[in-house]
Amino acid sequence: MSEFAGYVVPGVIFLLFGLKWSIESIRERDPAEKGSAMANRVRSIRRKLLCCRVKGFPAEGITKLTLTGIGMGASLVSAYPSGQLQRMSDILYATIYLFFAISGLVDVLVFYCPHSMPLGIESITLSLSFLIEGLMFHLHQTHQSFMIQHVHLFLVYTIYSTAFVLLVEVAYPEIITKFVRGYLTLLHGSWYVQTGFILDNPFKATPSSWATSHDYNNALVGISLTFAWHSAILFVLLLILLVVLRRNRGNSDQEISPRSGASETEPAISVSPECCYCCCRDGNGSNTPNDV
């Protein structure tokens, strides 16, 4: 697996997961709308304890297992091109894929065996996966050129920040922490892709060279500015998505659905769909807001 593909393919995957998690956090109802956090936590625990059979499909967990399995296979084949280990960096990628595969396995176990798994185990396992990823990149780039270290510095910081937010999410499963998790995952994916274009751009005829210290310093400043632009653009896009989705949800909540026999003067009652655990997984198999 080429260096460029090694950055771009995981980056696209993180972008998709970050978009999914961001939309889920935006569509979740505020605590003021759905009751106190403690009451919701108690209801979530009761649903897990009372449910003996789960309907639906663990789409997120199966997707993680499938993608990481493909990634591990490609990395190992690339690491052993002639039956002997020649590319240790691909073993690094395979190790990262392994931990995210464990996260997918935990998602599947929580889906089918909710009464056996503690609350928050999905977030803890995913946090461990990001932590190992950050550690692998940090150690791998320690003795590389300063330019490569500078590019990966922003990637490592973003990865560690995501791992930290996931740990916070275990104790405070609020909308804002889930929103930050989605945003950081999007930033993680976008900078992953950008790193591939900076370090190994296949569409560039000649690789970048820095003949003078002035060129070198300009490149460092340019990389820093590019990361800042990634952060700003993604946050603005999420704000736009937040306004659009929440506005549409507010309009749908205000729709009137008259019941048979109800008088025309009867005040409209807005009823939002309620989740229970045997229906606390939606049709796509994803977690409900209260199933933390």
More confident residue, 56 or 17: 17
Alpha carbon distance 180, 82 (integer Å): 44
Alpha carbon distance 148, 162 (integer Å): 22
Q: Are the CB atoms for 106 and 88 separated by under 8 Å?
A: no
More confident residue, 179 or 246: 179
**pLDDT per residue as tens digits for the range 21-54:** 999 888 886 655 555 555 555 455 545 444 434 4
Q: What is the pLDDT of residue 169?
A: 92
Q: What is the pLDDT of residue 107?
A: 93
More confident residue, 265 or 250: 250
Query: 203: which residues sit within 8 A by CB, 6+ positions away?
Result: none
* pLDDT over 80 at 197, yes or no: yes
Place 264 in a pLDDT band, splitting at 50, 70 and 90: very low
Alpha carbon distance 54, 48 (integer Å): 10
Residue 19 CB: number of other CB atoms within 10 A?
17
CA-wise closest residue to 125 among 146, 140, 110: 110
More confident residue, 141 or 276: 141
More confident residue, 38 or 105: 105
More confident residue, 274 or 140: 140
In sign, the C-alpha dihedral spanning 108, 273, 186, 17 is positive
Q: What is the pLDDT of residue 32?
A: 52
Q: What is the pLDDT of residue 268?
A: 44
| pLDDT, mean over the chain | 78
Alpha carbon distance 192, 40 (integer Å): 36
* pLDDT over 90 at 277, yes or no: no
**pLDDT per residue as tens digits for the range 146-178:** 888 889 999 999 999 999 999 999 988 888 999
